[in-house]
Amino acid sequence: MQLTGDRFTSEAAAFGNDLATLPNFPAEIRAPAGTLPGVSSFQLHFADDDILTPGDRPDVLVAMNPAALKANIGDVPQGGTLLVNTDEFVKRNLGKVGYDANPLEDGSLDAYQLLPVAMATLTQGALADTGLSKKDAERCKNMFALGLLSWMYGRPTEGTERFLREKFARKPDIAEANVLAFRAGWNYGETTEAFATTYEVAPAKFPPGEYRQITGNAALSYGIVAAGQCAQLPVFLGSYPITPASDILHELSKHKNFNVITMQAEDEIAGVGAALGAAYGGALGVTTTSGPGIALKAETIGLAVMQELPLLVIDVQRGGPSTGLPTKTEQADLLQALHGRNGESPVPVLAPLSPGDCFDVVIDAVRIALRYRTPVLVLSDGALANGSEPWLIPDVDELPDLRVTFATEPNATDGSGEHWPYVRDESLAREWAIPGTPGLQHRIGGLEKADGKGSISYDPDNHDRMVRLRQAKIDGVEVPGLEVEDPGGHADVLVLGWGSTYGPIGAACRAIRKRGQSIAQAHLRHLNPFPANLGEVLARYGTVIVPEMNLGQLSLLLRARYLVDVVSYTKVAGTPFMESELVDVFSEHLGTTLAEAA
Amino acid sequence: MQLTGDRFTSEAAAFGNDLATLPNFPAEIRAPAGTLPGVSSFQLHFADDDILTPGDRPDVLVAMNPAALKANIGDVPQGGTLLVNTDEFVKRNLGKVGYDANPLEDGSLDAYQLLPVAMATLTQGALADTGLSKKDAERCKNMFALGLLSWMYGRPTEGTERFLREKFARKPDIAEANVLAFRAGWNYGETTEAFATTYEVAPAKFPPGEYRQITGNAALSYGIVAAGQCAQLPVFLGSYPITPASDILHELSKHKNFNVITMQAEDEIAGVGAALGAAYGGALGVTTTSGPGIALKAETIGLAVMQELPLLVIDVQRGGPSTGLPTKTEQADLLQALHGRNGESPVPVLAPLSPGDCFDVVIDAVRIALRYRTPVLVLSDGALANGSEPWLIPDVDELPDLRVTFATEPNATDGSGEHWPYVRDESLAREWAIPGTPGLQHRIGGLEKADGKGSISYDPDNHDRMVRLRQAKIDGVEVPGLEVEDPGGHADVLVLGWGSTYGPIGAACRAIRKRGQSIAQAHLRHLNPFPANLGEVLARYGTVIVPEMNLGQLSLLLRARYLVDVVSYTKVAGTPFMESELVDVFSEHLGTTLAEAA
Amino acid sequence: MTTVDLELGLKPKDFKSDQEVRWCPGCGDYVVLNAMQSFLPSLGLKRENIVFISGIGCSSRFPYYMNTYGMHSIHGRAPAIATGLAVTRPDLSVWVVTGDGDALSIGGNHLIHALRRNVNLKILLFNNRIYGLTKGQYSPTSETGKLTKSTPMGSLDHPFNPLSLAIGAEATFVARTLDNDRAQLTSILTAAAQHRGSALVEIYQNCPIFNDGAFDVLKEPGEKEQRLIPVEHGQPIRFGPDREHAVLRNDRGGLEIGPYDENRVVVHDATTDDPAYAFALSRLSTQDLAHTVTGVYRNVDRPTYDDQARAQVSAATDAKPADLRSLLRGRDTWTVG
Amino acid sequence: MTTVDLELGLKPKDFKSDQEVRWCPGCGDYVVLNAMQSFLPSLGLKRENIVFISGIGCSSRFPYYMNTYGMHSIHGRAPAIATGLAVTRPDLSVWVVTGDGDALSIGGNHLIHALRRNVNLKILLFNNRIYGLTKGQYSPTSETGKLTKSTPMGSLDHPFNPLSLAIGAEATFVARTLDNDRAQLTSILTAAAQHRGSALVEIYQNCPIFNDGAFDVLKEPGEKEQRLIPVEHGQPIRFGPDREHAVLRNDRGGLEIGPYDENRVVVHDATTDDPAYAFALSRLSTQDLAHTVTGVYRNVDRPTYDDQARAQVSAATDAKPADLRSLLRGRDTWTVG
Ligand SMILES: Cc1ncc(C[n+]2csc(CCOP(=O)(O)OP(=O)(O)O)c2C)c(N)n1
Ligand SMILES: Cc1ncc(C[n+]2csc(CCOP(=O)(O)OP(=O)(O)O)c2C)c(N)n1
Ligand code: SF4
Ligand code: SF4
Ligand SMILES: [Mg+2]
Ligand SMILES: [Mg+2]
């Protein structure tokens, strides 16, 4: 860690240095190159190569003016971050480089994480009291940019400050100005909840096909749009902004042409409430938030469990508890997702394993929600949300058919010709009889309902039956079997993960295999219900290591369910695992195995 | 069950019958006599004996007028339910039997669960359209009372209705009027959330001392008052009414003379928020609710976890999920209490095992909250809340000393003379430095805090450390060891319960022992952290049966923690376990054991 | 909304569900239920196109008794849930039923936001100035000093005037009536149904069990004439046994009650754009019911949230086809293999 | 509150904490922070007796920068948390710092209830008409049609006028000012501190990053004179470069703006009991800032929730000793053994 810090500091210094002398040079800063799988260091490079392979592109482009943007945007993968100094994006400058419209406003940068910041203004503001000339002050804006990046990538600041003071030792006012600008950039990041992360999964080999770069939040958003299309349902998103989930609201609000309505509600409770109301009316109801928002939505999710209505709930996890570390990643909402409601209130829970996987997981979550008439929780996290990866663009024709059948005929089993809302099909799902359907008028609510008929029931046996029916319905949700990657087929150690740890775990496993040792990897995308073969998979391995960015939440579930003494490895630092760290952890257990085998 | 139902119906009918002919007879209805330990049937008797031993008193007195109340109140144990027809409590009637003031209003019935209902008015209202004479209509008010009791004790209604129709076969209008009144009483119970339950634990032998009858809600309330006194702190209750917790708010609001402030807040979130604000200021902050309210309070409890402030949170569990069965009991909020918040957010959780135990558990919960500066959850339930038992009145002088030491001196470890809010003592608790203390000005909040100093910190290592420190603090809470009742000392089967199942489990174990078989019983009052010896206790027994009124929530925790294949027996019917039912369940496992031993 | 079809020939009884009505005998909720069932046929809507969404409380049991679609939701959240339904389903007539605790205590925020958004919702607020379902705690409309189970020494909070609050929250339609005034209730329901946008109708409702007679002074002959101030659009506001009192403008920019004076009397105009007028009217009603203004205070037009939300979808759809393929591809792709 | 001790000799800098202030350069929050730090010494309170409680938002970072006690709580809940503190600690001066999203979106319900209860809280609402912390979504005070990240086709909701809402919620003290008007801000803070009960102070605050210049028209010479309507208790309400405009009573029971007319001009009386007056005043401010009334609109006395809650405790304590033994024994006991 210290080493990384030092390198970053010196690199950063180099950057500051060069930029100070070359103020119009388009700086490109990138976290580790895409092809280095899973490296989560914090190197900072100049982009000195012109042609970048898709897997070797800068993650962040700092464009101090339109020219810099124009010249370099082609190198930035979609989903990459553009930190842009808006002050220079005035008509004259735009015209000079041939921009007809302002690219920051015309939507042409929609595919990127655009961070437009008035860097010059902010820097001048920060230096207003220093007595520096406007020109000198303006020069410091690169340090502002560096400060902001340092914040985003969680870099310590002392080194840079020391460096600046040393470098400008003979011009202390300039040194202080640079430090001030640097800090202003850093503070801007913290106060406005700027989020950045680097998520890198590069599979050993890309299968053939057409690719693009995508972030997790974009993939979630596209997944929602696509699910609505596949289900031929209008989409209604009820949401309240919260880091790092807000971008899903932003993204979806751009796609109203897909029959998507987005509503920024007065709070999280209203957001999920409105989504449930829309679901009741036959729309695909969706709500998106982060951990604290899930806590607030709990009561309404419980109502949806009782009413057995489809609802998609997305939790982009961040550091907790409480407000915690809003711009950092974590996986500590798993147990909240499963248990964070009063009463026995089961819901399916899914988690994507990479930015691109967010798309598939949402589609699968919607399948479950619609098929079983249940709220479904999807647990993404900050690393996936803002991280990006090359994504094999799905073939629209191959997307699943998610169309639903609304009830049209009364279904009372007593021949009364009434509609009974709690009659179930073979999957235990009740019918979705939406208002406006003649003859099916009925009432639902949060009180316990009589099995079948659905009127209020306080009958003890009925309650016991309904509690078990709701549980059985969720336990019976069909989910794909767990696939294990165990190339040689003779590994004794299985690493089982879930969520965004897929990248670093995969990288660590590959590194170990490269060393000639065997290790198996499996990654859970379905946390509730578990894949049917999970118990059997666990039983196959002598050691099961479960790395998590929490204090062992999946471990708890596995131990309880399968009575397997899994090894829990945890880190709750707001940062993804590092490949090297995992290699060390895994090796400890491999060591024993090898020794034993020998 | 069916049998019980039949008996109840016929008893009920007898009651209706007699009352119809003896309208001024004070009806006393009671659930099983207190000395029949743990019986949870639903018999309905006339109180035909005049002198009742403390353990053999009616649980419910239906007083149709002041005379009936006066004559019989002496028989009703404190905490018993008084169903009173308020219509007759007019000056003249009161005077006639020597009441100076209306006992329904002067507080003299504070020790009872008073259910004042304008039965005559309501009955007349219900029969307004029948054309019955006022007098005839009035006569039906006993059926109203019976209807209400049927609702409260969850009795099926068809039998009574059939009986009434048969009995008055020759006067169909009277029959219908009685049915109408009966239903009106029933509906009244449902619409106004009338709660009743019978909780009976009679220990084998009462230790000597002075006793009174007490309900769980009263014991919780007294526990809160006593804890405030023992801590010499003002008590602040922020609460929002919800069945079955409202009575704690009602009870506490009567005891302002103990420096107790009660605030009926605008919602659950405000209730816990205000309690947290009061705790920040140095009061004993308390909030009381039921399951749906806990869901709403989750975010604020998480803030209290982060701020490490003492806070008492009481959840009187009811049937769920969602609104569920508001007047029925259940134990399905255990996992919500533990996990229902975003991030790693550990809190101690306690559960009383009987109405009287509510007092001790609250005191212990307050001890933990104050000692460790943490929110603490207490899980009561509907059966405890409204059930009552003889209670050995605690000796005030023996109550623990809960006094706290507020910080008075700056504590910065760097000699700066500042106050650092996150410096910890040997129990890992931080100091409680309340506003108004000179020189200790500091700021706390929901963002992650730097270890020690307490300023906002985004440092990864610090976050990991703080997450683990918070967890270690709660894991390190000192709780008494688990005691096992295993009279012979050679049982192979252990029954481990928690909460209000103590009564029926104990009764079932005693019944089994009476049959000459061995069985061990232990009951967890601390659900987090577990008693240190729990693992060792579990390991001692061949079979561990865990009966719960949920789908196996404690079982899940035990399995995960100790990898013990406990036998989970569950019922989620809104009603307590029955002794006979548990005897059957336990016997199954004993059978095997005996056979094996043989 | 669906086109009005008066030929449906529905009768009040067609709007009764098969559920036994379970309020206490004498509860004011019955009257409102009956009035609603009698009124609905006049709307000319099919039963399946009407939805009642309630929170929790005695009054919130309303939907169970209506043979329409209905949802008994959770405490305080009905306006939020109904908003999602109204926004996505313009063909439905969406009604919210709520109580003084449900709407103004736990649900206060959703209520004021629904009103400012002007969502097409008709919100019926059953105000009995008490929590009925939980058996008698004071509510945000209870008079100060009220003795209840939770306030044995008297409540301390100054109550909301629900209509003042609603007008302060930018409501476009607010009205008040009494459970026993079937004619006024029906006419207000009609006006509310016709209003495009949110309509808040406060109904003073007697709870004979926990707050009996709370509104008796507004119902007793001899008393009520002195206290009730019914307003009718276009009519001078006069009241009293001999219509001798009137609402007059005062010189502090407000309204006051005084002896009828042809020159100073206020002619009620519910369409007054400036809400200061309806607000001033709302302040004539006092905690102690010395005076209570009933009728439609305010009824003005403003674009609704839901109409506009749908219009944005239409505009977007017209402007750009829903081409999923192109959305997923984005602008910058490359090919492997 | 503790007695005022002007001899403390505290200086503005004594109220600065050691934390680096992290708002964006040019943020209006700085100005308010400075004004507060300059103003506090005049209150004569010891630093330890002052508490700032905030929610979440840029503005809610305020407590970190004050060398007093402080709590940065969770989104929207500061008024509730502060209520618990104020009720139990009469010796403290409790200030709430909140934003337009924090106070009016997620926290709307707690705000209106705190106001109707009249808890001793001074609530500073930093209104930048945007969500700053979450980087630029529209807020409940944003003008209709606003283009933001979450509303690329324009926002649809009609905004709240925070002061209308507060007055509708029975507030006893409401005021508005601008971040750049240090003198008015200071005088309003003084009045708010002196008011016993809840005081809501709305501060228009520029967010140079996500809503820059939102209030420029109220600051630009030439413009501002035509738009700003400052009110002073006891003074006729006049404005304009030559004080040629005035606030006049209109004949619909409201107020309007017109040419100054000695006979019709309204003399501002913040103590007017009828909130209809302050409400009418609040309606003169429009979404587009064509006119904005600043100053203390309303400042009336009403018993506070916290004073009364403590009075009940005192009364109960006087009436009945705190005898725990007798409480636990109750009335009916028996002895075993
Ligand atoms: C989250 C939650 N909190 C509290 C309750 C308990 N509760 C149900 S209804 C109610 C208040 C009812 O009062 P009101 O809205 O006035 O309706 P009324 O019964 O008087 O018609 C309360 C406190 C609940 N069901 N859910
Ligand atoms: C429960 C919860 N929901 C959402 C958020 C995200 N959030 C934090 S502040 C904020 C709004 C900030 O706007 P405002 O109150 O106007 O303050 P400003 O930043 O403009 O000063 C939001 C949506 C959160 N922290 N917690
Ligand atoms: S308690 Fe009151 S409001 Fe509720 S049903 Fe009975 S009378 Fe009606
Ligand atoms: S984002 Fe706006 S409100 Fe927030 S600190 Fe920056 S300028 Fe101030
Ligand atoms: Mg009510
Ligand atoms: Mg704001």
Chain C partners within 8 Å of B264 (Cβ): 137-138, 150-151, 155
Residues with C-beta less than 6 Å from any ligand 1 atom: B 240-242, 268, 292-293, 296, 323; C 56-59, 75, 99-102, 126, 128, 130-134, 139
Question: Which atom of ligand 3 sits closest to the CA of residue C205?
Answer: 3
Ion ligand 5, residue ranges at CB < 5 A: C 99-100, 128
Write out pLDDT tens, residues A561-575.
Answer: 999 999 999 999 999
CB–CB of A330/A572 below 8 Å? yes
The complex's ipTM works out to: 0.92
Residues forming a β-bridge with C292: C228
Q: Which of D269, D273, D297, D267 is nearest to D283 (CA)?
A: D297
CB contact under 8 A, D84 and B281: yes
Report the alpha-carbon distance of residue A342 to residue B324 in Å, rounded.
Answer: 9
Average pLDDT of chain B is 86
Cβ contact A342–B291 (<8 Å) = yes
Sign, Cα dihedral of B120, B121, B123, B124: positive
CB C34 within 8 A of CB C66: no
| C214 pLDDT above the threshold of 80 | yes
DSSP secondary structure string, D160-207?
A: P-HHHHHHHTT-SEEEEEETT-HHHHHHHHHHHHHSSS-EEEEEE--B
Statement: residue A592 has pLDDT above 60: no
CA–CA distance, C33 with A578 (Å, rounded to integer): 64
Structure tokens at D23: 């708002």
Quote the Cα angle for A175-A177-A178, to 5°.
65
Minimum-distance ligand 2 atom for the alpha carbon of A326: 25
CA distance A528 to A510: 28
Tell me: pLDDT of C155 over 80: yes
Q: How many CA atoms lie within 13 A of C293 on its CB side?
A: 30
Q: What is the mean pLDDT of residues C93-108?
A: 98
What is the residue whose two structure tokens read 């306690």?
Answer: B350
Helices (H), A114-210: 119-126, 134-139, 141-152, 158-167, 172-191
SS3 state at D70: strand
- Taking residues A454-475, report their average pLDDT: 97
What local confidence, expressed as pLDDT, does residue D337 receive? 80
Given this model, what pLDDT does residue A203 score?
A: 58
Contacts of C56 in chain B (CB under 8 A): 323
H helices within B388-533, ranges in order? 460-475, 502-514
- Selected residue with higher pLDDT from B110 and A249: A249
Q: Is the CB of A191 under 6 A from ligand 4?
A: yes
pLDDT for position A4: 30
Give pLDDT tens digits for B242-279.
Answer: 999 999 999 999 999 999 999 999 999 999 999 999 99
Which of these ranges, A379-383, B23-27, B60-64, has the smallest mean pLDDT?
A: B23-27
Q: Which helix (H) or strand (E) segment is C259 a member of? A: strand C255-259
Q: What is the pLDDT of residue A114?
A: 82
Write the DSSP string, B270-337. HHHHHHHHHHHTTSEEEEEE-HHHHHHHHHHHHHHHHHT--EEEEEEE-B-STTBBTTS---TTHHHH
Q: What is the pLDDT of residue B249?
A: 98
Could you identify the atom of ligand 1 that is nearest to the CA of residue B193?
A: 8
Taking CB atoms and an 8 Å limit, are B441 and D68 in contact across chains?
yes
pLDDT at A16 > cutoff 60: no
Atom of ligand 2 nearest to the CA of D101: 15
Residue A216 CB burial class (10 angstroms; 0-12, 13-18, ≥19) = buried
Neighbouring-strand partners of residue B264: B239
C-alpha C156 – ligand 1 centre gap (Å): 20
Q: Which residues of C touch D277 (CB under 8 A)?
A: 252-254
Check whether B1 has a pLDDT greater than 80.
no
Minimal Cα–Cα distance from C155 to chain D, Å?
Answer: 9
CA of B271 to the centre of ligand 1 (A): 15
Task: Give bridge partners of residue B444 from the DSSP assignment.
Answer: D71
pLDDT at B64: 85
What is the pTM (predicted TM-score) of this model?
0.91
Neighbours of D222 (CB within 10 A): 8
Residue B355 has pLDDT above 60, yes or no: yes
What's the pLDDT score for residue B78? 67
Choose among A292, A339, A287: nearest CA to A317: A292
Q: Count Cβ neighbours within 10 Å for each residue of A194-209 and write b for 16 or more, e otherwise.
A: bbbbbbbbbeeeeeee
Q: Express each pLDDT in A54-112 by its tens digit.
A: 234 566 788 888 888 888 787 777 667 788 898 889 888 888 888 888 888 887 887 77
Q: Select from B16, B23, B39, B42 the least CA-distant residue to B31.
A: B42
Q: Which of residues 424-463 of A touch C (CB under 8 A)?
A: 435-447, 455-456
| B56 interface with D at CB cutoff 8 Å | no
A1-12 pLDDT tens trace: 233 333 334 444
> C-alpha A245: how far from its chain's center?
8
- pLDDT, one tens digit per residue, over D273-304 is 999 999 999 999 999 999 999 999 999 999 99
Q: Is residue B598 very low, low, confident or very high in pLDDT (cuts 50, 70, 90)?
A: very low
Instruction: Spell out the domains of chain D, with CATH numbers in brackets.
Output: 12-233+268-309 (3.40.50.970)
- Please report the residues numbered 382 through 411 in chain B whose beta carbons come closer than 8 angstroms to any beta carbon of chain C: none
Q: Give B159's pLDDT tier (boundaries 50, 70, 90).
A: confident
Over the stretch C229-280, which tens digit does the pLDDT of each residue have?
999 999 999 999 999 999 998 877 679 999 999 989 999 999 999 999 999 9
The residues, any chain, with a CB within 8 Å of residue C214's CB and separated by 6 or more, are C128, C129, C130, C204, C206, C207
B266, C140 contact by CB (below 8 A): yes
Residue to substitute from D109, D134, D146, interface A, most A β-carbons within 10 A: D134
Q: How confident is the model at residue A141 (pLDDT cuts 50, 70, 90)?
A: confident
Q: What is the signed CA dihedral for A271, A276, A278, A282, rounded to 10 degrees?
A: 160
Candidate from C56, C73, C77, C128 with most ligand 1 atoms within 8 A of CB, to mutate: C56
pLDDT at B51 over 70: no
pLDDT band at B301 (very low <50, low <70, confident <90, very high): very high
Mean pLDDT confidence for B334-349: 98
Residue A285: closest CA among A180, A356, A357, A374: A374
- Contacting D residues, span 188-217, partner chain B, CB-CB under 8 Å: none
Per-residue pLDDT of chain D (337 residues; tens, 9 = 90+): 444 555 678 999 999 999 999 999 999 999 999 999 999 999 999 999 999 999 999 999 999 999 999 999 999 999 999 999 999 999 999 999 999 999 999 999 999 999 999 999 999 999 999 999 999 999 999 999 999 999 999 999 999 999 999 999 999 999 999 999 999 999 999 999 999 999 999 999 999 999 999 999 999 999 999 999 999 999 999 999 999 999 998 877 679 999 999 989 999 999 999 999 999 999 999 999 999 999 999 999 999 999 999 999 999 999 999 999 999 998 888 898 8
